Structure 1
Amino acid sequence: TTPIASASAAPSQPTSSSVRTLSTTTDHRDDPTRYFPGSSFADALRGGGPPPPTERASWQAEHNIDIQRVTQVAIIHELTQQQTRTIERVVPWYLSTMPSAYFRGVPESFRMDHIKAIAAVMDANMDLYLNLQSHLPDGRQVLTFIRPGTQPGTLLKMIKELPWNQNSDLYLPLTRVQVFSAEDESMSLNLFVYGEEPHEPFDARVVGGGILDYAESVQR
């Protein structure tokens, strides 16, 4: 028998003499951390951040007076921001809930006092229970009472709380009362005016003479 010779397949040869290679080198040109490897800046860029300090930093206040000043500034800033947020809530509510007669009949300076007092009370989470005292340019005294709610009898309770000084040299008669209620029934705001409104001297002859002069000019 004729032995069968085994033949192994020859390895295939590339059809082209040029062989392409893939680079495994990473391009760091767009990585800013390559300039500071292992630094806190690199950690911050990667989202990590420096470790918490274990000793006083060079920029920290060292003297007690400086620490007190920084603390005061921080407290003032926090309170100012808190009051600002409260005022931003109170002003729109105040303008939309007070009746139009209030804005027509109460001077602007008084309204500003009212809203500042209301904002301060709301900022302190207290009930709207306020007594304010002011004066008109002509010397009359004005007491403003603000109470929560609009329940029946609120005005009577306010009147009973008015000062009683009939026997005093500073006595002024109660001459006017302005009563207002918030449209959302959240508060009652009433003004009590003390003192007579000053009037210019009245001369009948002067007034009558002016009327006669006007009538004569019309007839011409």
Structure 2
Amino acid sequence: MGTVSSSSRRCAVAGQASSSSSSSWVKALDVEEEEEAAGADALEAKGDKLMSQARRELHGVWSYLSPPSVAANSAHYYFNKAAETFVLANSWRKAAAAYHEDAVCSMKIGRTGRLRAAFALFDAGICYMKVLEPDDEEMTSRTVCDLEKSLRMLVLENELVTAAKVCVELANLYAMLKQWQKVREYREKAAEFHANMSDALFDTSPM
């Protein structure tokens, strides 16, 4: 009986230790999740501050005392940093808005900023696609607008590889909306851009 009792006590102690270990593991997971949540909140707050700084660079008092391109370049830096921070926080709507403002800002620089703006609009469209709901007409309109504008600008700059990627995103978007004619149109455009790139790479005509 004594042996059984001793064995029972050992099992009980082992069970308590196991339970304690399991409880500690669960608590550790809870703490980790809380830290991750706090991290996302902190990143989003940081992104908000960067957005405010970008707007100050663009519209603040000092912006009137320097050439527009200088103010726009400074603002671009903060808009871009804000967008990257929102992406890390998985705050896709804010990231899209930051990339969009970055694009508008970059276009104020002139022709040199056009390509930068095209890439920013593409990034904005991708961020919108992360959270896009087909029945959200406003966001769908923004996404289409940013991607199509990006596409036009990329074609003007002869950035056909990225233009093809934009076409793929637009095809995916219209597939979500079940607009199959548009899907086919943008897939054909993507194929055309890839074909043009291949022709350019293997062009052996005399210079």
TM-score greater than 0.5 by the shorter chain: no
User: Comparing both structures, which one devotes a greater share of its residues to strand?
Assistant: 1
User: Comparing both structures, which one devotes a greater share of its residues to helix?
Assistant: 2
Q: TM-score, normalised by structure 2?
A: 0.29
Q: Looking at CA atoms only, which structure, 1 or 2, has the larger radius of gyration? A: 1
